[in-house]
A and B are shown apart, each in its own frame.
Chain A
Amino acid sequence: MQMPPPKPTLLAQKPALVARLRMALGDDCVIDDPRETHAYECDALAAYRCTPMAVVLPRSTEAVSAALKICHEFGVPVVPRGAGTSLAGGALPSADSVVLGVARLTEILEISAEDRIIRVQTGRTNLSVTGAVEPLGFFYAPDPSSQLACAIAGNIAMNSGGAHCLKYGVTTQNLLGVRVVLMDGTIMDLGGGHLDAPGLDLLGLICGSEGQLGVVTEATLRILHKPAGARPVLIGFDEPEVAGQCVSDIIRAGILPVAIEYMDRTVIRATENFAGAGYPDVAALLIVEVEGSDEEIDNQLALISNIARALNPVEIRQSKSATESANIWKGRKAAFGAMGQINDYMCLDGTIPISELPAMLAKIDALSRQYGLAVGNVFHAGDGNMHPLILFDANKPGDLQLAEAMGADILRACVEAGGCLTGEHGVGIEKRDLMQTQFTLGELELQLQIKDTFDPKWLLNPGKVFPLALTESRRA
């Protein structure tokens, strides 16, 4: 994965730039000592690292605006950063860039149960938003698995999802308004506490724009009342195809589970060694969770179990209590950590129509044998968002490149199956060079023109999302 080479003219401006930033923001909001900027050299795509010229950590929207104005004036690229949990390299700096972190913007600005909204500064973590409204009985629905650490700013930038979006949607369906700062320092409010906004849906465009159109400093988020309860059923199958059939049958039957999670044998075995959840050793395991009162849950789980039984499962384990639910979820929640214990892995994020699941699992298996790299599959089956984990050895020369090549083949197959390159992680640098498999040059050109509209000088997170060759003249 290449990054654009740093421009010597920009590097030469570092002392003057840092002095201006310090003057505008205060010394404690600007970091330029390489020993400290080092901490911002990567996000969760840790294979790629680069220390920025400086890091700014503003304490207000106005300070974000001041910092952006200065960088705009200097022509210096700015890499916005939430909590740095991007799996796609969305917050990876370039050597000639300034990282703008929202980590100090963590205030809750308003909670309204009557309007069913919370307004927060975007440095706040996803889980702490739910924490803030829990005493009222409410929650914030999008739940990326990094929710303990990830910031709302990053959730908006990547339009993050999670396990429960089959029922509740992803970030864009739960975001009602933003305060966003454009690269030239303009502060703009889009949307608000009402359910729609006048004019073009610029809010929808900002969400998922990977920090390339503006820096979001405040967000108005929809909150929902918590369900009375939630319990899963665990279903094990001998054949991945039958598990795929089961997912489709459940949905056809008119049941809308809040989550349908899938794990294959590789992942089950890894999590058993790691978390000991007591999963059956099967080819494919589904965890299907439904919500409601106890009676409603029992009613739905019975329907789901009946559908599963018709497909000859190896095992059905219906949770009857909070303890049993926790046990069923224990392995799934530990899956990524468990896989990390046995090997380095690369986590993909392609999404396919769920009717294509069986064929795609067979395709991944074939590619795994072709490349000689093992793959574990653990993903959100209800919405077709696959997370194949390609196992490789980072210390073995060439293995990362092999894994990347295999990942690219899987993602191409996802697009061919009617899906997309990324369901919730974003393009970042990771899938940048695959964009032409999903979009025509004409479609990409129109997207570049959208960026031209918001950031004519191409200074905000410039080396991301699009193939570098397509953006070179604009970044010049």
Chain B
Amino acid sequence: MSVSDLAKQIASATAPLQIMGGGTRAIGPANGTAISTASLTGITHYDPGALTIIAAAATPLAEIEAALAEKNQILPFEPICPGATLGRNGVSTIGGVVAANASGARRIAAGACRDLALGLGFIDGLGQIHRAGGRVMKNVTGYDTTRLLAGSHGTLGLITEVAFKVLPRPELTLTLQTEGLDDAAAIAALSAAFATPYEVSAAQHISGGATRIRLEGFAATLTKRADALAAILRGFMPTEYDWEQARLLTGLAPKIGETLWRVSVRPSHGAATGAALKAAGARTLHYDWGGGLLWATAPDTADLRAALTCPGHASAMVQAAGAFHPEPAPQAVLSQTLRDKFDPKHLFNQGKMD
């Protein structure tokens, strides 16, 4: 099915539709008849000299990353791939990555998915085809609907195509690691690493385990950078670490009867938040983004959202109602009105983010 076929189907639809991508990362309840992006595949434009790639929504993430790797480039935001950890079988698609604004460890240095998205194509709830943004790095023409659609989990439109800014692949990656820090000391160390000119590209801490910092850059000079940082952060030693594990959320698979939570707070509130989550029942706890992003598994019965004591938000990585953190009142009204405008027939992913 082409974009215009999908648009016709949406234009004539009268009952709720559930937008299906690869099925690896959707959260929130699934309501309505399935409408799949699966027929929209392929990289439609790749200009390595302009750091730009465009691909249809159902293009597998792996296919895009393989094409970039051939030219020594990467998707800078290092999207997480939680499918296996969440027990899902599908193949991650680029449309799903954008719909979820899925960003990984390098978000702290290179920006989130929504920061690297240059533009996208989407179909609104009346079946009209739109283009938001474009394929250039600077674009302030009209309202920024690219960022609005990114992370909207299919509640505003069906994303058909996405353009990204890409970056050169670092020649060399080095990891510094230490063990045995408590959460507060670990986050303090990570913050100290960011208060240097060494451009830390990932900063993680496993509660009760390792604390890791990643540096990336030119082979000729990166080792000196790592030595200089190690001299500041006492106890951190060079180590080999496969950062793919971080993308896969390895070690965070919920057991039967458990839920995986994603919590976003300020790094300075990270340790206190972690303690509160543990008190509320969290079993495993990983910190990313220098302490500002927490991943926790907890019994289904534990309400980690209610345990939050600091400003921030918590999402449950489950396909059920209440997965998303509620928006504050005035914002919720605006969001609902925007959905009414983008999708007047109330077709798309009804109740998903409620």
Interface residues of A (CB under 8 A from B): 112-117, 136-138, 158-159, 161, 165-166, 169-170, 172-173, 182, 186, 188-190, 192-202, 204-205, 207-209, 213, 225-228, 247-249, 251-256, 292-293, 295-296, 299-300, 351-355, 380, 383-385, 418-427, 431, 435, 438-440, 442-444, 446-447, 449-454, 465
Contacts and interface: CB of A to CB of B under 8 A. Distances in A.
A304 to B, nearest CB: 12
Given A202-B335, A431-B141, A446-B124, A255 B168 contact: yes
Interface of B: 47-52, 71-72, 101, 107-108, 111-112, 114-115, 124, 128-132, 134-148, 150-152, 155-156, 167-169, 171, 188, 191, 194-197, 199, 217-218, 220-221, 224-225, 264-268, 289-290, 292-293, 311-313, 315, 324-328, 330-332, 334-335, 337-338, 341-342, 353
A292 B140 contact: no
Contacts of A116: 194, 267, 290
Contacts of A161: 138
Interface centre among A170, A207, A420 (most CB of B within 10 A): A420
A388 B312 CA distance: 44
Contacts of A225: 194-197
Given A159-B140, A295-B224, A384-B137, 14 more contacts: A165-B138, A194-B312, A197-B313, A198-B313, A201-B147, A202-B334, A205-B144, A248-B50, A252-B71, A292-B197, A296-B217, A384-B50, A424-B140, A427-B140
A96 B143 CA distance: 25
Interface centre among B139, B325, B330, B342 (most CB of A within 10 A): B139
B140 A113 contact: no
B341 A198 contact: no
B338 A450 contact: yes
Contacts of A112: 266, 268
B264 A205 contact: no
A253 B315 CA distance: 40
Given A420-B139, A426-B140, A446-B341, A114 B268 contact: yes
B147 A205 contact: yes
* List of 10 A-B pairs having minimum Cβ-Cβ separation, nearest first: A204-B147, A423-B138, A248-B49, A199-B327, A254-B168, A198-B313, A198-B325, A383-B137, A193-B266, A449-B341
A188 B331 CA distance: 7
Interface centre among A190, A353, A419, A435 (most CB of B within 10 A): A353
Contacts of B328: 188-189
Contact of A420 (B136, B148, B220, B266): B136
Interface centre among B142, B197, B334, B338 (most CB of A within 10 A): B142
A228 B196 CA distance: 9
B138 A351 contact: yes
Contacts of B72: 254
Interface centre among A195, A252, A296, A440 (most CB of B within 10 A): A195
B194 A208 contact: no
B150 A201 contact: yes
11 contacts: A192-B311, A192-B312, A194-B265, A196-B151, A198-B325, A251-B51, A251-B168, A422-B139, A439-B141, A446-B130, A453-B338
Contacts of A253: 168
B338 A442 contact: no
A299 B266 contact: no
Contacts of B131: 439-440, 443
B151 A423 contact: no
Given A202-B335, A418-B135, A442-B128, A137 B195 contact: yes
A170 B136 CA distance: 13
B199 to A, nearest CB: 8
